[in-house]
Amino acid sequence: MPEEALIVVDMQRDFMPGGALPVPDGDRIIPRVNEYIRRFREKGALIVATRDWHPDNHISFRELGGPWPRHCVQNTPGAEFVVELPADAVIISKATEPDKEAYSGFEGTNLAGILKEKGVRRVYICGVATEYCVKATALDAVKHGFEVYLLKDAVKGIKPGDEEMAIREMEEAGVKILPSL
């Protein structure tokens, strides 16, 4: 049973430069994330990838009064992963209903149940964006009782100041910040 899981948050085309809702330089962490996926896979850890998986009429879209441009619509190229996931990776789709938003991979999904059922105790988190979905996922992981590590060299935020604040907030909540691994 794997005691560890790597959670790759929202490494999707629309969140990369050129996409609908780009994280600046989000593509620069792709090689690091791929490297972590490979290394965690080699040591038998569970690989989890979360994704925004919105219906065409999602509440978070500007045309429906939300804060964001249309992004990560189900089964469109913008929702595709940009990292190399093994065939047995656990894919967690979030915010899949028109009227529900979810930044955290734990919100409205069965992620906590899957991790516990597999015997996972420690989770390592990477991906985008640091101050939104990465932070929400890390804080929820703490709440669910996991030991949580942030892989700081494999996350990317939208605004540097907000990213720094988010990292402090995670640290105060009990997330261990690893400069690298």
Catalytic center residues: 10, 94, 133
Which is closer to Zn ion, CB of 52 or CB of 163?
52
Which is closer to Zn ion, CB of 60 or CB of 139?
60
Q: Which of 4, 14, 27, 52 binds Zn ion (CB under 5 A)?
A: 52
Q: How many residues bind Zn ion, per CB under 5 A?
A: 1
**Listed residue (35, 21, 171) closest to 163, CA to CA:** 171
Which is closer to Zn ion, CB of 22 or CB of 149?
22
Q: Interface with Zn ion by CB under 5 A: which range of 37-45, 52-60, 78-86, 143-151?
A: 52-60
Which is closer to Zn ion, CB of 120 or CB of 125?
125
Q: Interface with Zn ion by CB under 5 A: which range of 25-33, 38-46, 50-58, 132-140?
A: 50-58
Q: Interface with Zn ion by CB under 5 A: which range of 27-35, 47-55, 119-127, 141-149?
A: 47-55
Q: Residues in the site for Zn ion, rule: CB under 5 A?
A: 52
